[in-house]
Amino acid sequence: MLNKILMPLVSIFDFFQKKWHNNKTEKTLGSIIVVVYLIDIILVFLKNHNILPYYLSTYIKHNYYDSIGIAFNMLLFFEVISLIFTLPKSFSNSLVKQFEIVSIILLRHAFEEIEIIEKSLSQNNIIDNLYHMAYDAGGALIIFAGILVIKKLQKHRDVTRSKRDKNRFIQIKKLISLLLILVFSYYFIYDVYLFFNKNVTYNFFKTFYSVLILADILMVLISLRYSQSYIVLFRNSGFAFATVLLRIALSSPVYINALIGVVSILFTIAVIFVYSNYELECYNDS
């Protein structure tokens, strides 16, 4: 009975995953970001010279640096979709993708400081903005370095020795990811609706990370059905905790956000290091 429900949904997920992780798709998405970036620069130019119609100019900002933010937002949008398709592969791979997203968000914050600096009239304010920029960029750099360390340390091992259980666990994770795609689509469409109706939009990435935390905890609990090993439970729970820290980082003010992001990746590196070495000892003793 469960197979009759799972298999069609898994097939849908596999179809979209295959289409997404395709060289042609990646090139197309890259081209879309470039085109949108250039169009926005042109629209800013037209607005600054009073050429745009009024109804259209109300959606366009005066500063050219805002185009950078739009390009980064599109990149983040595509990265979130990639994250959803990464979730069924492994907890560590999905967490690495989350760190990649947060590092890009910090870099986006650093670019936003450039626009603020140009508008600042006080020298003290400019110095503060430079500190903010350096802190966000520095945090992004440390997270970037941490990602490389994680990729070098991590060793992928099956949660269960049973191939049947492993396949079933992957199928369930794909079902959860499919539900996340629906949630993601809803929040994105609603945010776009608010924007074009000139309402205050909520922070899409914060909201999505909140949902992601619930999904991570759900997958940790489901993994207990296939393995009750303490070290596996602690590792997966530790990864879920790192996701919570990243969610807090997205809601935190300048200085605190980058600090929490760095603490999160250092905690993850420690968990992977201890887990990998403990597993190695277990294999050597057996």
Full domain range(s) for residue 9: 2-285
Residue 196 and residue 96 in contact, taking contact as beta carbons nearer than 8 Å = no
- Phi and psi of 89, rounded to 5°? -70, -55
Nearest to 119 by CA among 71, 68, 70, 61: 61
- Joined tokens for residue 2: 């469960």
Query: How big is the CA angle at 254 (ends 251 and 258), to the nearest 5 degrees?
Result: 80
User: Over its length of 286 residues, how does the chain's per-residue pLDDT go in tens digits?
Assistant: 556 777 888 888 888 888 888 888 989 999 999 999 999 888 888 888 888 777 777 777 777 777 888 888 888 888 888 988 888 888 888 899 999 999 999 998 888 887 777 766 666 677 888 888 899 999 999 999 999 999 988 776 666 667 777 788 888 889 999 899 888 888 888 887 877 776 666 667 778 888 888 888 888 888 877 776 788 888 888 999 999 999 899 888 888 999 999 999 999 999 999 888 775 555 444 3
Cα dist from 134 to 7, 49, 138, 279, whole Å: 49, 33, 6, 39
Look-up of token digits 């608010």:
194
- Residue 286's pLDDT is 39
User: Are 79 and 104 in contact, with CB atoms under 8 Å apart?
Assistant: yes
Number of domains in the chain: 1
